[in-house]
Amino acid sequence: MTEDSRPTLHVALVTGWQVVASTCFYALFAGTALFREYLGLSGFLVGVVVTAATLGYTVALFPVGAAVDGAGERPVLIGGLVALAGSVVGVGLADGVLGLAIAAVCLGGAYATAMPATNRAIVTGVPEGVRGRAMGLKQVGVTAGSGLAAVLVVSVAPTLGPWNLGFFAAGAVAMVVAAGFAVGYHGAPGGEWRLPDLRGLRGNRAYVALAAGGFFLGAALFTTVGYTTLYLTDSVGVSVAVAGLGFAAMQVTGSTGRVVGGWLADRLETGEARANATVLLGQALLGAVLLAVLAVSGLSRPVVLAVVALVGATVLGFTGLYYACMTALVPTEEIGAATAGGQTALNAGALLVPPAFGWLADTTSYRAGWLLLAVAALAGTAAFAVVVRQTRD
């Protein structure tokens, strides 16, 4: 990345942390078909569990953001991975919807450590000229971990032992990595402990528009992740194992979308924030089109699987640009709080839409649910267009 190898090693460590953390968190989403089969959850109750995880995630964001700005990212990253390990084991131990929802809240709260801490790690450890690519590579950890969760929890572990074996394996790996991370990662020192400057963030018009777009794209992202395996098994008619592989493929293309998006933004000869917003706009628009395609009836299984993979490159692939744009809009000392606000916007959409998608799938069809997500993605596209206008040189 540079002549100095330290930024490269730094990005590798942070990305590795993100892979393991996302494996724990997205094990819940990848396992929805298992919850349906072994715990008897309806489509609506699956949405409730996804919302419970998002609720825990959202409530913890601003306290975590303040901790990152005050103490630095290192203690937050280590503690967060330990909490994720315990929570994902709790998901595997749940024997009903109540226990699963409680474990999901804890899992979401633990995962709230991810974005504020890893975003600060990238900004403080990577030069500006390659920060878009670095942020995209770090965000690959999310989709890589999510894909690994699908393969581990759905496709591999149930063939080797009990249905919940994958959750226990994810927790064990997280504990080992947390110990190694405590030894190998140092990070930047913290600053001042203070409440988030919400008034200042509200006065930043580009930031507000970006967060608004995040609300709609977050609804599409979390709902897509939460329902893809169920959609493939219930509506498309593939096996659970094939659905898990399809979910994993979607994560792989999501990783590609994050890296390619960051690379394109770094190549634009304009300000950092506007470059990221411009590529983000195109990515969101393409995602809206692809979600609308899933609402078309009569698609063959290969076509559906191909479209699902492309949805990964867009709807799942936008967050690298989203966070790169966000961190370019605020001072370094406010990255934790700004990330908390931006992630809260993402999660707010995810709190509302998954149960609605599940209700539509149960009472009408998955086609209606995908159309709902397409409209949400289109609204996000309009918000990102405002960011582009607000960040003109």
**Secondary structure (3-state) at 286:** helix
* pLDDT (0 to 100) of residue 4: 40
Report the alpha-carbon distance of residue 266 to residue 383 in Å, rounded: 22
Contact by Cβ (8 Å): 136, 19: no
Which of 389, 208, 227 minimizes the C-alpha distance to 294? 227
pTM over 0.75: no
* pLDDT (0 to 100) of residue 198: 65
Report the alpha-carbon distance of residue 158 to residue 161 in Å, rounded: 5
- Domain definitions of the chain by residue range: 6-184+194-390
* pLDDT (0 to 100) of residue 79: 94
Angstrom distances, CA of residue 320 to CA of 138, 255, 258, 277, 382: 8, 9, 5, 11, 19
* pLDDT (0 to 100) of residue 190: 66
65 C-beta neighbours (distance < 10 Å), count: 30
Architecture of domain 6-184+194-390: Up-down Bundle (1.20)
| Residue with tokens 């304009």, as numbered in its chain | 270
pLDDT digits (tens, 9 = 90+) for 23-81: 999 899 888 888 888 888 887 888 889 889 988 988 898 888 888 888 888 899 999 99
Region label for 72, one of left (φ > 0), alpha (ψ between -120 and 50) or beta (otherwise): left
Report residues of the chain scoring pLDDT below 70: 1-5, 187, 190-198, 200, 393
- 273 burial type by CB count under 10 A (0-12 exposed, 13-18 middle, 19+ buried): buried
Which of 98, 103, 69 minimizes the C-alpha distance to 86? 103
Report the alpha-carbon distance of residue 9 to residue 204 in Å, rounded: 33
Contact by Cβ (8 Å): 21, 114: yes
CA atoms within 13 A on the CB side of 391: 26
Report the alpha-carbon distance of residue 208 to residue 181 in Å, rounded: 34
